[in-house]
Amino acid sequence: MAHGDITHVDIPADDIERAKGFYSGVFGWQIAEMPGYEGYPMWRAPNQVSGGGIAQRNESLPTIRNYVEVDSIDDAITKATELGGRVILEKAPISETSWYAAIEDTEGNQIGLYEGTTAGVDEAGG
Q: Output the domain CATH number for residue 54.
A: 3.10.180.10
Q: Is pLDDT of 119 > 70?
A: no
Taking the model in full, what pTM does it have?
Answer: 0.82
**Position 43 in a domain:** yes
Write out the residue range of the structural domain in which residue 100 sits: 6-125
**Position 52 in a domain:** yes
**Position 1 in a domain:** no
- Print the SS3 string covering the chain: CCCCCEEEEEEEECCHHHHHHHHHHHHCCEEECCCCCCCCCEEECCCCCCEEEEEECECCECCCEEEEECCCHHHHHHHHHHCCCEEEEEEEEEECCEEEEEEECCCCCEEEEEEECCCCHHHHHC
According to the model, what pLDDT value does residue 57 have?
95
**Position 62 in a domain:** yes
According to the model, what pLDDT value does residue 117 have?
79
Tally of structural domains, the chain: 1
**pLDDT tens-digit map of 23-33:** 999 988 889 99
* pLDDT cut 90: percent of the chain above it: 69
Q: Is pLDDT of 2 > 90?
A: no
**Position 68 in a domain:** yes
